[in-house]
Structure 1
């Protein structure tokens, strides 16, 4: 016998896609503005690190477009074709951001190596161009904090991941700006190439962080330790034992729990009330969560809490 797969708590699922799309459209236009300024100043000065930074900002804009596409298909509400919801579409979008960051990292390193082994004209930069870059930095900081704040408010992984990327762009711009100030004030031409490598490391680190945060969702990694679920279930009166516990998803975004429950009940109605109480307590601790319970009679015996390898 299986109980209803979700409690009343689970039925209240908020669709935040309209807010996500609004934030992505706003940041898209701001990122295009930033990218344009960096590209103009980069070409006028011949700065490799600034052109690499413009490439990084190009990925910001591409990520916004990718996020809009992912948000279009990432409804949290289940339907006939997607009975477990559509949240993985947002995780796929976040992985696309990671891929863009990898491309940017490769381009930066390639350009720096070419500059080291070749010859290039000295970089010429004016005070007005430095002021433009300070404006760019201010816009980047605003976008990062605005997007991260909205992402946390509506619990959107695509906004949080994109804010992570934009924050890496802030540090890239700070590094590049410091190098250009050194070139403008002291004619330290070597700073441009020297800073290109730390920029690449920052980009790679940001991409790896996004990848690490979203892979568990896509590969159905365990979301909640079976022992923790077992402890909650065993506190419910009438529960004799529970075993074969499995979970997936991401706690706080959407998780799914399955378990076999041995109950002290001689009729279906009593067993139903016990399992409903188990579901309610799990929902209070791990919401949003959907719970599926297979009920077994008191005489059933099993000591396998999880699906780990058995002898």
Structure 2
């Protein structure tokens, strides 16, 4: 069965995801340029590494825009189930960026213990600009996170986590620069960078854990839950052989076998439409395939 209303809802959602990504891309580019300029001006390798991490934010935004562009839930001749998995693939790409950023941060921190560094030139203006950059990072992270939850977008949530990891990196670099400026402790820079690099790696691991189940078609809704919901409708005698995949709130594909009370096709069709409406009200956009069976299939049915 095909449901244009569900596809239209999901398509509007994709446009909203893209609008959020354009806003965050502009802000992340601004953050990158400020950090890179300060890093070159002060000679701080950790600040340059932080700028590199922020460039990964911008790159992940571009990747996310491409993924959102090609992850339309509307089917075509070559993709009858739509293109939703492109979004999860984009999230996996963001996980890769997190891993690369983590490696860069840790390798830079370790290298600074063994290679002599020139004195860093840190002043009050540098610290003030870094506080402003930190504020932008926080705004972007919570802006993306709120929209990600509202739109049930794994892509926005993954990108928000990436940006939030940049907040920790920026805070660490800021503490290191403050230590150099106020207390003359140059090694704070690389010492604090180590736990932050590990936090960035952990963020990437969490993104992998969240998106691999979707790519491997893990059950979206327990069959028992769906069966109990469908059996609550008048006229439904049995429901079994239920499968589901996808992301609740984004797009779910459901298949089931059902036995209904009416014998005529028109009445049975009305019940299947009622099932679709109920599932859509409960779980958001859905595409349902229902196989009607005769009374003899009630016995021995499985949830």
Instruction: Please indicate, yes or no, whether the TM-score normalized by the shorter chain is above 0.5.
Output: yes
- SS at 1:202's partner residue? helix
- SS at 2:74's partner residue? coil
- SS at 1:228's partner residue? helix
Q: How does 1:49-88 map to 2 (within 5 A)?
A: 49-88=46-85
Deviates more, 1:249-258 or 1:108-117: 108-117
Query: Which TM-score applies when normalising by structure 1?
Result: 0.88
Q: Which residue of 1 aligns with 2:257?
A: 260
- Aligned-residue CA RMSD (Å): 2.1
Task: From the superposition, tell whether residues 35 and 220 of structure 1 become closer, same or farther in structure 2 (CA, over 3 Å).
Answer: same
2:159 is equivalent to residue 162 of structure 1: yes
Which runs of no fewer than 5 residues in structure 2 stay unpaired?
none
Residue 55 of structure 1: how far off its partner (Å): 1.4
Structure 1 contact 15–76 (Cα < 8 Å) conserved: no
What is the number of equivalent residue pairs in this alignment? 301
Whole-angstrom CA distance in 2 between matches of 1:20 and 1:266: 45
Which runs of no fewer than 5 residues in structure 1 stay unpaired?
306-311
Deviates more, 1:270-279 or 1:178-187: 270-279
Whole-angstrom CA distance in 1 between matches of 2:227 and 2:22: 44
Structure 1 contact 265–297 (Cα < 8 Å) conserved: no
Whole-angstrom CA distance in 2 between matches of 1:114 and 1:247: 50
Residue 18 of structure 1: how far off its partner (Å): 4.0
Q: How does 1:14-53 map to 2 (within 5 A)?
A: 14-53=11-50
Q: Which residue of 1 aligns with 2:301?
A: 303
Q: Which protein has greater RCO, CA pairs closer than 8 Å, 6+ apart?
A: 1
Q: Which residue of 2 aligns with 1:136?
A: 133
Residue 11 of structure 1: how far off its partner (Å): 5.3
Whole-angstrom CA distance in 2 between matches of 1:200 and 1:158: 22
Q: Which residue of 1 aligns with 2:86?
A: 89
Task: From the superposition, tell whether residues 234 and 19 of structure 1 become closer, same or farther in structure 2 (CA, over 3 Å).
Answer: closer
Q: Which residue of 2 aligns with 1:126?
A: 123
The superposition leaves residues 205-260 of structure 1 with CA deviations (integer Å, 9 ceiling, x where unpaired) of 22122222222221111100111001112212232322211000000111111111
- SS at 1:249's partner residue? strand
- SS at 1:112's partner residue? helix
